[in-house]
Structure formats: C-alpha cells, structure tokens
C-alpha cells in the first residue's frame, strides 16, 4: 500500500505546483530527521542527488517526506479525502470500513511525514481500487 499511496502525494504536489519533477532536485543521504524522528530510505546510504522524477522511480521515502512538507497538512489531507480515503465507498458490502487516518488535530510533523509516503494510514482494498 505504501508505494501506491505515494502516487497520491505525488499527484497532489504536481497539481499544486509544489514540484517540478525534472528541474527540482533532492539529496537523499539515507534518512531524514523530522522532529527528532529518523525516517529512513529503503536503500542503505540513500540515493544521493536525484531529481524528483528519480525520487518517484526510486520510491524514496525521504523525498516524499519533502513533498509532504511542501504540501502541508491541510492540503495533503484535502487530497486524501478527495481520493476517497477516510470514508466508506458507498458500495453495500458487509464489514466495509472507512479505514484509519490521523485526525487533523493529531497531525504533527512526524505524522505528516509518514502519511506522505503511506505509513500510519490504513485503507481498505476497496478504497484502493476505487
């Protein structure tokens, strides 16, 4: 789910003109410190200097943390809700849930960072398909 959730953050950042995928660059040293929490890239030592297109290709968590920071909490969560997360789909299935998202009042820098690449978020398979 993490990889597919990153596409939501990417589309929000592109739509809001917060990133130029070709000309904006990001340096990934393997982790980023957010409010005292160390968030690692999957690649030990990181990917080094890369464009944001390469951030996407490399599925680089620290790069997506930067996109989330650029978007800000309210804008990112607005897109999350617009994509249908945090609510039932309306399809009549027993046991369907709305998934689990942070309440906006609970989102600090670390929650924004982890949400940006899909950790701390729980969505249903049906929400993901829709």
Whether the CB-CB separation of 71 and 50 falls below 8 Å is answered with: no
Axis crossing angle, helix 2-15 with helix 73-82, rounded to the nearest 10: 110
Domains of the chain as residue ranges with CATH: 2-129 (3.40.710.10)
The per-residue pLDDT for range 13-28, each reduced to its tens digit, is 999 999 999 999 999 9
Please give the residue that has the higher pLDDT: either 59 or 85: 59
- Beta pairing partners, 67: none
State the average pLDDT over residues 61-75.
Answer: 97
The per-residue pLDDT for range 17-65, each reduced to its tens digit, is 999 999 999 999 999 999 999 999 999 999 999 999 999 999 999 999 9
Name the pTM for this structure. Answer: 0.85
CA distance 60 to 99: 25
**Both tokens of residue 51?**
């464009």
Percent of the chain with pLDDT over 90: 65
* 3 state DSSP class of 124: coil
């Amino acid at each position: 789910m993490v990889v597919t959730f990153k596409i939501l953050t990417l589309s929000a950042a592109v739509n809001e003109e917060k990133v130029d995928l070709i000309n904006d660059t990001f340096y990934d040293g393997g982790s980023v410190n957010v409010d005292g929490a160390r968030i690692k890239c999957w690649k030990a030592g990181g990917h080094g200097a890369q464009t944001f297109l390469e951030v996407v290709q490399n599925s680089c968590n620290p790069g997506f943390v930067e996109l989330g920071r650029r978007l800000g909490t309210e804008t990112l969560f607005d897109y999350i809700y617009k994509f249908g997360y945090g609510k039932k789909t309306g399809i009549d299935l027993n046991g369907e849930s709305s998934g689990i998202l942070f309440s906006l009042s609970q989102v600090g820098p670390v929650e924004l960072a982890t949400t940006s690449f899909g950790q701390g978020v729980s969505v249903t398979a049906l929400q993901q398909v829709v």
